[in-house]
């Protein structure tokens, strides 16, 4: 039985992911930024992605120093741009070991009676299609190396529909669960 104390485990965690490359989407949101910071603390080199360049730069500075983290502005709804970015990261960094999909949008007029076609499409494009693109783009390298981890962030509304979540967000978060389960089939 290992009786390592908490302080020792915390010190060990700083190198636990040394040499690993993580790519975090939705990185300037609360969840994505927290994950990016923890990955840096664990020793990973982290690429933070999001659509807003200014928010992304601020988040990258919060996550770590330039030798620990970098920003990559990217709109997940643009499939070819996602595939190109993944190829560029693989070529430049040699690998993407950890993929975290935490990007998510929910329109302000989210209730069924108020939901516009444009808002529906944007929510599906970012929350679901973007996740599909990133998984497919990084999984080929992970499978070739026989190593890698994909973390897709859903929501409790993916399992339990609620009026205030709205149909676009709830549908994409439920589909996130199905997509995640289907990746290894």
Q: Which residues are marked as active site?
A: 169
Counting other chains too, the contacts that 5-10 makes at CB distance below 8 Å and 24 or more residues apart are none
* Axis crossing angle, helix 167-182 with helix 130-145, rounded to the nearest 10: 20
Q: Is 128 exposed, middle or buried (0-12, 13-18, 19+ CB in 10 A)?
A: buried
Q: Is 98 helix (H, G, I), strand (E, B) or coil?
A: strand
């Amino acid at each position: 039985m290992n009786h390592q104390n908490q302080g020792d485990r915390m010190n060990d965690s700083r190198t636990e992911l040394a040499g690993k490359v993580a790519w975090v989407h939705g990185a300037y949101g609360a969840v994505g930024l927290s994950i990016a910071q923890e990955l840096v603390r664990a020793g990973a080199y982290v690429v933070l992605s999001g659509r807003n360049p200014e928010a992304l730069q601020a988040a990258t500075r919060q996550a770590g120093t330039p030798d620990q983290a970098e920003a990559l502005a990217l709109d997940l709804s643009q499939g070819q741009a996602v595939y190109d970015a993944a190829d560029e990261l693989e070529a430049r960094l040699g690998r993407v070991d950890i993929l975290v999909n935490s990007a998510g949008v929910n329109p302000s007029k989210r209730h069924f009676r108020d939901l516009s076609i444009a808002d529906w499409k944007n929510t599906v494009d970012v929350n679901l299609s973007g996740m599909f693109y990133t998984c497919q783009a990084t999984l080929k390298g992970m499978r070739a190396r026989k190593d890698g981890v994909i973390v897709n962030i859903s929501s409790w509304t993916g399992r339990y529909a609620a009026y205030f979540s709205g149909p676009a967000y709830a549908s994409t978060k439920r589909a996130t669960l199905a997509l995640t389960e289907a990746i290894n089939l």
